[in-house]
């Protein structure tokens, strides 16, 4: 894991997030997804994220994600026409230097804050509630938006929803995948959608993999959808000039040390695709 971090063996993909009522229109919202590539082998985040958390590497990787994402967005979408969602880990929320780092990188990049949406899992947001509130409030003042990811796994979080000033609630894909065959999953999706709307937040359903799921979510008035029925992840590829820039200098910031007692015990990352849980969330690669 340390070698992968030092060598930057990550690759960046984008996956579309489309309005449920108009999936065939122009997409302007994407989530940044990740795969790890080493020795010709592609490794799922299910395999390497736990190791990154165990060794306290997530804040380092998240910084690299921000640094590279801003460079790519600035090059390929300088007018800020699209929204790009970047996942942040619970460990990063406890890093007291990350907010200043992010503000500095954002200012230097020239990227409009309004085209960024940061995704926090409900588990990490609740486990680090005060840090999450400070981070969200500061970045929302700059124009960034926020999504609460994997919502519904910890149902105790319903009591926190009104207090978390997020713009989107992402309905956990495990409920979406089962909702056509399981009444409890369907009711859970309906409940989350209604509560989010009552709280003034838009909803995004994850893992929408069939036309039947898409139609059911439209009927429920879910706002946005994401999954293979909408579009598969596509490479977010830099130009040759940006490749040379990345190759000419190290892009990893200094290593950040996180004390073990601040490590959330149940933070998780998952992505559904193809025949199983596989590559996809959070980071990117120096090509």
Confidence of residue 26 (pLDDT cuts 50, 70, 90): confident
In this prediction, residue 36 carries a pLDDT of: 84
Percentage of the chain exceeding pLDDT 70: 80
- Residue pLDDT, tens place only, 57-73: 889 889 988 988 999 99
Q: Are 150 and 179 in contact (CB under 8 A)?
A: no
For the chain, give percent helix, strand, coil, nearest 5.
45, 20, 35
In this prediction, residue 156 carries a pLDDT of: 56
- Residue pLDDT, tens place only, 72-88: 999 999 999 999 999 99
In this prediction, residue 242 carries a pLDDT of: 57
Higher-confidence residue of 139 and 254: namely 139
In this prediction, residue 30 carries a pLDDT of: 97
For residue 88, which of 114, 66, 115 has the smallest C-alpha distance? 66
Higher-confidence residue of 219 and 9: namely 219
Q: What mean pLDDT is predicted for residues 216-236?
A: 95
Return d(Cα 114, Cα 266) in angstroms, integer: 31
- Residue pLDDT, tens place only, 31-56: 998 778 888 777 767 778 888 888 88
Q: Using the predicted structure, report yes or no on whether residue 2 has a pLDDT greater than 80.
A: no
In this prediction, residue 6 carries a pLDDT of: 76
In this prediction, residue 202 carries a pLDDT of: 97
In this prediction, residue 282 carries a pLDDT of: 32
For residue 283, which of 78, 8, 97, 38 has the smallest C-alpha distance? 8
CA angle 8, 11, 17 (to 5 degrees): 140
Higher-confidence residue of 76 and 269: namely 76
Lowest pLDDT segment from 79-88, 222-231, 278-287: 278-287
Return d(Cα 95, Cα 134) in angstroms, integer: 12
Q: Using the predicted structure, report yes or no on whether residue 155 has a pLDDT greater than 90.
A: no
Q: Using the predicted structure, report yes or no on whether residue 163 has a pLDDT greater than 60.
A: yes
In this prediction, residue 16 carries a pLDDT of: 96
Q: Using the predicted structure, report yes or no on whether residue 268 has a pLDDT greater than 70.
A: no
b vs e for 113-147, b when ≥16 Cβ sit within 10 Å of the residue's Cβ? bebbbbbbbbbbbbbbeebbeebbeebbeeebbbb
Q: Using the predicted structure, report yes or no on whether residue 275 has a pLDDT greater than 60.
A: no
Confidence of residue 265 (pLDDT cuts 50, 70, 90): very low
């Amino acid at each position: 894991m340390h070698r992968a971090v030092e060598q930057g063996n990550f690759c960046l993909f984008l996956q579309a997030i489309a309005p449920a009522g108009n999936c065939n229109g122009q997409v302007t919202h994407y989530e940044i997804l990740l795969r790890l590539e080493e020795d010709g082998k592609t490794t799922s985040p299910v395999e390497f994220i736990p190791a990154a958390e165990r060794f306290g590497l997530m804040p380092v990787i998240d910084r690299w994600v921000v640094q590279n994402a801003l460079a790519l967005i600035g090059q390929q979408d300088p007018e800020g026409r699209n929204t790009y969602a970047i996942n942040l880990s619970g460990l990063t929320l406890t890093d007291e230097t990350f907010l200043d780092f992010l503000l500095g990188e954002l200012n230097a990049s020239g990227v409009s804050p309004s085209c960024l949406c940061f995704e926090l899992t409900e588990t990490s947001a609740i486990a680090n509630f005060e840090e999450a509130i400070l981070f969200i409030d500061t970045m929302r003042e700059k124009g960034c938006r926020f999504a609460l990811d994997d919502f519904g796994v910890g149902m105790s979080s319903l009591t926190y929803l009104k207090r978390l000033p997020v713009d989107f609630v992402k309905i956990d894909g495990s409920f979406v995948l089962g909702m056509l065959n399981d009444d409890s999953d369907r009711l859970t999706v309906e409940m989350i959608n209604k509560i989010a709307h009552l709280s003034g937040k838009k909803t995004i359903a994850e893992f929408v993999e069939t036309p039947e799921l898409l139609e059911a979510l439209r009927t429920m008035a879910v706002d946005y959808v994401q999954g293979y029925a909408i579009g598969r992840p596509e490479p977010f590829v830099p130009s040759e000039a940006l490749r040379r820039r990345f190759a000419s200098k190290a892009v990893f910031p200094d290593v950040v040390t996180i004390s073990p007692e601040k490590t959330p015990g149940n933070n998780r990352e998952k992505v559904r695709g193809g025949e199983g849980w596989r590559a996809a969330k959070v980071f990117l690669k120096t090509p």
